[in-house]
A and B are shown apart, each in its own frame.
Chain A
Amino acid sequence: MTRPAAVTGGVLLGLGLAVFLWKAVGLGMPVLPTDPLGLWQVEVEINARGSGGRGSVRAALPSSDLSQTIFAERSVSDGLVFSIRSERGQRTGIWSGALKRTHQLLYAFRVQLSQSTVPLPRGAGRTVPPKLRAEYGGATAEFPTTATEIVERLNWLGLSPPEQAAARLAAVYSFVTDEVATEPNAGDDVLLTLAQREGSALGKARLLVTMLRAAGFPARLVSGLQLREGLAPQPKVWVEAWLDGAWVPMSPTDAFFATRRPDFLLLRQGGDALIEATGVEAELHRFHALRERLRPEELATLMIPTNPLLAELSLYRLPVPTQGALRVLLVLPLGVLVTALYRNVIGIQTFGTFLPVLLALALRGTTLMRGLAMIAFVLALGVVGRLALERLRLLLVPRLSILLCVVVLTVTGLALTGRGLVERDLYAGVLFPMVILTGLIERFSISLAEEGLREALMKSLNSILIAVTVYPLFTSELLQHVMFTYPELVISVMGALVWIGGYTGYRISDLRRFRTFAGASGGAR
């Protein structure tokens, strides 16, 4: 290695490590994830378009209660006026003003979800206050408590007397949960749901509210999100019934009773939409959620560091989707480092420089075994396709394109059978791997034509080998967390790459190749 290369590499390596150490030791920032349970970062992103008229967008905002603690709230109003209104325990965020263009609104917060069970009374419990009875006990068009079908069904159920309120409550819940099927495409009308014994999640929730009210319990719909790791949050509707001074949560579709599921976030009382807009031409909203790897007090040191420059540079303040993408992106240099080691120090031949890393990235979108099966399939297709198309004497580009068409058809077939690849969103699950596999099939076909089956398979195996060794890096929560918290480590990786680039010693493959020289230094022997 030349002196300048050695020095440059050392300086870069040292620089990254120095910043890392300064932040970790000097400023006491956490290095390893502490992985608290149920701590999430949630974001509501709203695009509202208008052409000059006044309008407003209202979003249901969460409040802290027994099962959830809300903190670190922030909002972006993009030219509108943002205010929070609180009405009977329900908070609503309102953006209002003249909408002249597309306004990008944002409301973000962190939430600690916890599991807490509402205790049920042994006896009848406290009497229902008349005000509550009036508001949540009556018949409405949405909840036809007085309909004959409802009354008859309750009689048929043969409920326990009001003195055993908890058993009464459970009996109604069990009926709607177990005797009425959940069918996403079914209607949400209460009486229809009851008659057909089949309803949507909303239909079943409404039926439950109606029957509970008819049975004497004040009841209401509530809505919120189910937070899922690696996936977009799922809007949910469930039910709360008032008993003995507390609202008891229950869901006839997601199977919980008295204890809210620990991944459910409550946003709104009532079954109305989470986001509503008036005077707006078009409104589009999306929810994002990311599970936090650090406890709130540790997060604080990263989000609001004492050093103003670091505060400005903190990745933890970025929008949630950007954070998710960066978590993956920042691990990429580690994968490249491993590839460089394989190629320049060990001397393994692969297809292209970065194809193995991209393969590993594609594998990330699915499971390892499923991904490998897919790669094996594509390679087999390459061999068969070549044999089959050989006779037609087609030119290179159309021939490869035909193979690609077959891959597309296969993916389509897999989607039809409903298995595997299409569970996640189309981009991560299918499109991205398609791009990579196209690269693989092209390289493989050319290698097959030029160097023969043996060589082509050898290079494929090597590429897959590297992809499989790099894959754990890309799926490691730990590495993602460390690289995201300390992105300066990328500079260290660059330093290490300078060293590898300046390495002029033998590759392991050289040693193998020139093994006939072994013993040459023995001289006299």
Chain B
Amino acid sequence: MLLVDAGTSYIKIFDTEKDQLKILSLAELKANDQLKADYATGHNANLFTEATFVNELVALAKGAKSIVSDKDFTILDIGSRDMKLVKFHNGEFEKCDWNTSCGAMIGFTMELIMKYFNKDPDKICDTEMSFDITCGLLGITKFFDNISKTTSIDEGLSALINGLAKFTWQFAGKPEKLYLSGGLSENKIFISHMQKLVKELKSLGRTVLIEGLKNPELKNERTINSTSSYK
């Protein structure tokens, strides 16, 4: 069975028979015409026209619950385009949220700006400076405004990531313990800034949504090429 988490920038494909995970960029995927999957979730899941679609928040909730043994926990998945939050209390689902407009584009912004300045995220200095920002795109405006004054590019990048980390923490409800997943959970400088805010931070990597697709009790499914609503 092929399980796919088709994110905005990266596509995670898990083959359950081979127990093998493949991560492709969207550009690599589009060059490949073998767009097959049994279950698909994510922003670009529509590319897999024959797959059964699973809601991203449901996949995140089910995946997190199958990995985390805590009864009370919050998980935040940060992708290129958006942030998804699920909170459990006493082992039961309590809350979910999905930030796609303000606060969006955080992962995409960081990747874009690092590439633009040809910087390695692992080598960016760790400063206390922080921009007060509410979304990736507004963050870029503040970054360019600051580097036109006295701030160096490296300091500006660090302040940008620090600001994005603070916004992320606030979106999650300022928890003392937080599980992170998605592409940014593997970004060292982002994690370093998050660790200043969260007492206990655990990274679950990029495959939590794939874990959610392994759960056999999938409900609220729809075939992607259906034009009807989720109901």
Are A and B part of the same complex? no
Report which B residues bind A (CB closer than 8 A): none
Report which A residues bind B (CB closer than 8 A): none
